[in-house]
Amino acid sequence: MDLKYDDVLKSKMSEESYKKLMALENQKVYDHVGYFAQHCNPASIYVCDDSPADEEYVRKMAIEKGEEHKLAKEGQTIHWDGYGDQARDKANTKFMVYKENLERMKSLNSVEYEEGLAEIQGIAKNIMDGKDAVVKFFAEGPTFSEFTRPCIQFTDSWYVLHSEQILYRNAYEHFKAMKTQEEKDDIYRFIHSAGQLDDRGCTVNLDKRRIYMDTQNNIVYSMNAQYAGNSVGLKKHSMRLAINQSGQEGWLCEHMFLMAATDNDVDRKTYFAGAFPSACGKTSTAMIPGEEVVGDDIAYFRNIDGQFRAVNVEQGIFGIIKEVNAEDDPLIFKNLFIPQELIFSNVLRGPDNKPYWIGMGMETPKEGDNHSGPGWYEGKKDSKGQEIGIAHSNSRYTMRLDYLDNFDKEGFEDKKGVQVQGVLYGGRDSDTTVPVEESRNWEEGIVLKASTLESETTSATLGAEGVRKASPMANLDFVSYPLGEYTMNNIDFVKGMKDVPKVYSTNYFLKGEDGKFINPKTAKKVWLHWAEKRVHGELDGYETPTGIIPTYEDISKLYKKYMNADYDKATYEHQFSFRCDKWIEKLERTKEFYHKMDTDTPKSLIAKWDAAIEKIKAAQAKYGNVIKPGDFKG
């Protein structure tokens, strides 16, 4: 190895930390740590292995540094980001792109490579001066597996590392076991600094916040960032690296949960993956009572022995805590009150030193400390005259998945992944998509279900009710190469595969003539179990121009079984009728959106949408605009 950084490393590391680094015998790791030790200039660098002692040291330092504060229950801590640092910074999250690739990446937020590198290196110069930094090794997915993506994090935020420690698998031993040069080079690298901090330990220089991703060399720079969505590199930053790499290598990285639908009548477990835009039911579907969860957010997919297999990239949850309550999220809610390792961020710390958040379904204090600073009180206003609530609407909790009673440990630990037999794509609209529909085949699933995903705004959230926001594959913010190419890679993924999953759309948000939602939230269990039985060929269905829907007889039986309620035929016919004009409009919006995002969208993909539109127009001419269940004959 070329030991060109030895002087600087030995001056900033203990003998033990230096030995841990050198034991890996990895030039790329050595250069990453050495270069940024010199460039960012921390006062010290601690290198972690996989030991419980090092995990405890990270937890201890996060508190000693004032980045986290102990709460009343043992193991629970609270962290606050600065008042203007509580969401992903989309404007300053950019891809650093070589000149020859700029045209290909024109629809994505990009910066020319040399220009971006100069800017981020300028910001990073001496940014850790006087601070204690830490290095740790993690894996995306299980270690020692075909799925493993090894990662190294170098940061001056012990809160960030503590979060990653909860969310990801330790991988020092995995790095240590690497033998070939190819293995040692094929890693994801992250360099992060919270930058200058104020008296509360929050980032000061938000105007110099930059999150620059180099997918060509698999490194992410995050500077002057503290909110986890901007600073926890192994989450969405790593996801962008993996999406790019998977697109080149023929596997998939998707913004999906993994869960098992369990049929106790026949002692059967069927694995589903699911992609849902924000506020469309993703977490609540993954956590349906009586089913089992493998993961709630990001999954890797590979063709292993002709099977569609998947792993959860993470081992924890970084979840939005707003509206988490005993009625809607009983499994998660219960765990938020247990003395165990848990990080709350941007919620209220009450006078009793306990956490409180929006929509928790309990009485909350009128004063305390929150994201706006110490001394919050009901009615307090910010500098713009806006009233400050008890907690930020993007407040979070960070906890391990294996706390949950419905955690599928066996599926989670399988190094070959679980075999996925169904894929759910869930959007939100009030008048178009039926509660559940099966695609005729994988390609139609991607073309008509995944790429057409939309989320309808409500007046309560954005002020403009009924606006349909496109969200192809529920992955738009993280796709790291052209959208059309990415969509075609999804279509092509199953070529040559023996066991291809069935694809379903779901929509929990259809409304009646009174403007109210037709079904209770818990009805999603009914739609899931119809899909589960269809996977195993146990139920018939009716054809529509875009797929297959349940018969009334089948869905009413499932409704009675899982809801203990009757499902009347008039409601069924309203919910499962096919509305030709609405679907034509939806497909036209999809075409328009793809053209806006990627002017080089493959013509073959456009042709598939055009063919679907013509099919619907022909059905409209034959059956009328609203086609009742069972009337369409494909």
- Tell me the three state secondary structure of residue 570: helix
Torsion of CA 463, 468, 471, 473, to 10 degrees: 130
- Tell me the three state secondary structure of residue 154: strand
Answer left, alpha or beta for residue 220, where phi above 0 means left and psi between -120 and 50 means alpha: beta
Q: How many CA atoms lie within 13 A of 467 on its CB side?
A: 10
φ, ψ of residue 117 in degrees (nearest 5):
-65, -45
Q: How many CA atoms lie within 13 A of 298 on its CB side?
A: 26
* Cα–Cα distances in angstroms (integers) from residue 502 to residues 257, 490, 596, in the given order: 16, 14, 30
Dihedral sign from CA coordinates of 159, 162, 166, 172: positive
48 a catalytic residue: no
Q: How far apart are CA 147 and CA 142, in angstroms?
A: 7
DSSP per position, 104-137? TTTTS-EEEHHHHHHHHHHHHTTTTBT-EEEEEE
Which tokens belong to 7? Answer: 């002087």
Contact predicate 272/531, CB 8 Å: yes
* Cα–Cα distances in angstroms (integers) from residue 148 to residues 143, 178, 216, 238, 410, in the given order: 5, 12, 19, 12, 17
**Strand-strand pairing, 367-370 and 373-377:** antiparallel
Residues 6+ away with beta carbon under 8 Å from 360: 321, 324, 325, 333
Q: Which of 40, 151, 202, 280 is catalytic?
A: 280
Contact predicate 85/207, CB 8 Å: no
Where are the strands (E) in 550-599, listed by range? 578-579
- By annotation, the residues acting in catalysis are 280
